[in-house]
Amino acid sequence: MMRISLGPCQFDWGKSALKDFYRRMAFETAVDILYVGEVVCSKRQSLTPEEMVSLAEELRSSGKEIVFSTLGLVMNASEEEGLYRLARAASQGGWWLEANDIGGIAVGEGTPMVAGPHITTYNPETIHFLMRVGVKRVVFPVELSADAMARMIQRLQGEITLEAFAYGKLPLTFSARCYTARAFRYSKANCQYKCGDFADGMVMRTQDGTSFLTINGTQTMSHRHYNLIEATERLQEIGIGVLRLSPQSQGMAAIVEVWRDRLHGRIDAKEALSRLSELNGGEPFCNGYFHGRPGHDYWSA
pLDDT in tens, the chain (301 residues): 899 999 999 999 999 999 999 999 999 999 999 999 999 999 998 899 999 999 999 999 999 999 999 999 998 899 999 899 999 999 888 899 999 998 888 887 778 999 999 999 999 999 999 999 899 999 999 999 999 999 999 999 888 999 999 999 999 999 989 999 999 999 998 999 999 999 999 999 999 999 999 999 999 999 999 999 999 999 999 999 999 999 999 999 999 999 999 999 999 999 999 999 999 999 999 999 999 999 999 998 6
Q: Please, are residues 258 and 244 in contact by the beta-carbon 8 Å criterion?
A: no
For residue 109, the model assigns a pLDDT of 73
Element (H, E) at 115: strand 113-115
Could you give the C-alpha distances from 258 to 29, 44, 165, 299, in angstroms and in order?
Answer: 11, 31, 16, 20
CA distance 105 to 97: 9
Amino acid at 11: F
Give the chain's domains with CATH numbers.
3-172+225-268 (3.20.20.70)
For residue 122, the model assigns a pLDDT of 95
For residue 205, the model assigns a pLDDT of 93
Torsions phi, psi for 90 (to 5 deg): -65, -45
CA distance 169 to 203: 12
Strands 219-227 and 211-216, sheet pairing: antiparallel
Torsions phi, psi for 126 (to 5 deg): -65, -45
* One-character DSSP codes across 21-78: HHHHHHHHS--SEEEES--S-GGG--S-HHHHHHHHHHHGGGT-EEEEE--S---SHH
pTM summary value: 0.95
CA distance 224 to 295: 10
For residue 107, the model assigns a pLDDT of 83
Q: Please, are residues 120 and 99 in contact by the beta-carbon 8 Å criterion?
A: no
- The length of the chain is 301
